[in-house]
Every structure is written in structure tokens, then in C-alpha cells.
Amino acid sequence: MPGWHHETDMALRDGNMGTRQVKRLLSACMLLLLSMQSAAGDLSLFSEIPLGNEADISQRGADLVAHIQQSGTNHGAVEQQGNSHNARLLQNGYANQADVIQYGSQQQADISQLGWENLAVVAQYGMGNSVKIDQNGLYNTAIVEQVGEYNRAYIQQYGTGNRADITQNGTANGISVSQYGAGMNVSIQQWD
């Protein structure tokens, strides 16, 4: 294949690619696309409007779904390893950041952020854990770590400068936090 790149570059520049060059180019594109997903059954979707958003998805396992939809200037990242995880990040505004790490099986994370400089971080290890975070406003922070099985966390924050730090270890723990206003802070740790 020596000279292939030069051949293709010349054909692209001249506007007359032959069948051989088209096949090589399509093969290279297919290999690139296939290398983006590490296992069959995984699905990654990006939807970003306008420029200035960043999205990173890394998945290893089976039946993994990650969906990041952003408008404004935001950053979203999902890392999933294991089986049957589902992560959904929706962000609208400026400088919002959402990060999800899920290891194990059947973890669910759903993050929705509207406003400026909100931060949501989710780390789940085990089986069947789920998190839902809904933040609307400015400078809100939600951090959730769950280790174990079938733990549930729901955080809703509306306003400015609110913070929720949640840690749950064990089986079937549940927490719901709702904060409306400014400067509210809650930190909860549960073990069974």
C-alpha cells in the first residue's frame, strides 16, 4: 500500500477518484467507525448545537447505551464498562459539565442541566443502581457515588450555588434531595 495516501490525495484534489481509491477510502472510514465501539450492541449518540460543546463516550461490554445532547457550550463524558448500562445527558446553557462512570451491570444515569456552570458527577459500581439529577440555574453541584446493588438517588436543584454530595454503599438504599433557592448544601452518606 505504499503511495496509497498520495494516490488518494491526488485523486481527491483532481476530482477523479477511481473505483479502487473509493473502495480504499470507504474501507478506511468503516474501520474508523468500527473502532469507535468496542462491543456489539453498544450505542453512542451525540447531538450538539452550536460549536463549543465537547462530548466523550467510552464503552466496553454489551448492551450499553449512551446519549449526550448539548446546546450552548458544555462538556459531557460517559464511561461505561459491563453490561446493560444506560446513560443520558442533556445540557443547555454555558459551561455545564456532566460526567458519568458506570461499572458492573444494569446501571442507569439520567442528568439534565439548564443554566450556567452547573456540575453533575455520577460514579456507580455494582448492579441495578440508578441516579437522576435535574439542575436548573447557576453554579449548582451534584455528586453521587453508589456502590452495591439497587441503590437509588434523585437530586433536584433549582437556583444558584446549591450543592448535594451523596454516597450510598450497600443494597437498596434510596435518597431524594430537592433544593430550591441559593447557597443550600446537603451531604448524605448511607451504608447498610
Query: Considering the domain boundaries, does residue 160 fall inside one?
Result: yes
Q: At what angle do helices 4-14 and 19-36 cross, to 10 degrees?
A: 110
Q: Count structural domains, the chain.
A: 1
Instruction: State the pLDDT confidence band at 53, using cuts at 50, 70 and 90.
Output: confident
What pLDDT was estimated at residue 190?
Answer: 95
More confident residue, 135 or 24: 135
Q: Which domain range does residue 64 map to?
A: 54-186
Lowest mean pLDDT segment, chosen from 34-43, 53-62, 68-77? 34-43
Query: Considering the domain boundaries, does residue 31 fall inside one?
Result: no
What pLDDT was estimated at residue 17?
Answer: 52
The predicted-structure confidence for 5-21, as pLDDT tens digits, reads as follows 444 444 444 555 566 66
Query: Considering the domain boundaries, does residue 73 fall inside one?
Result: yes
- Report the predicted TM-score, pTM, of the whole model to 2 decimal places: 0.75
Omega of the bond leading into 2 within 30 degrees of 0 (cis): no
d(CA 30, CA 183): 50
Mean pLDDT value across residues 57-79: 95
Instruction: State the pLDDT confidence band at 52, using cuts at 50, 70 and 90.
Output: confident
Nearest to 65 by CA among 81, 42, 40: 42
Query: Considering the domain boundaries, does residue 3 fall inside one?
Result: no
Query: Considering the domain boundaries, does residue 118 fall inside one?
Result: yes
Query: Considering the domain boundaries, does residue 99 fall inside one?
Result: yes
Query: Considering the domain boundaries, does residue 26 fall inside one?
Result: no
What pLDDT was estimated at residue 157?
Answer: 98
What pLDDT was estimated at residue 127?
Answer: 98
Query: Considering the domain boundaries, does residue 161 fall inside one?
Result: yes
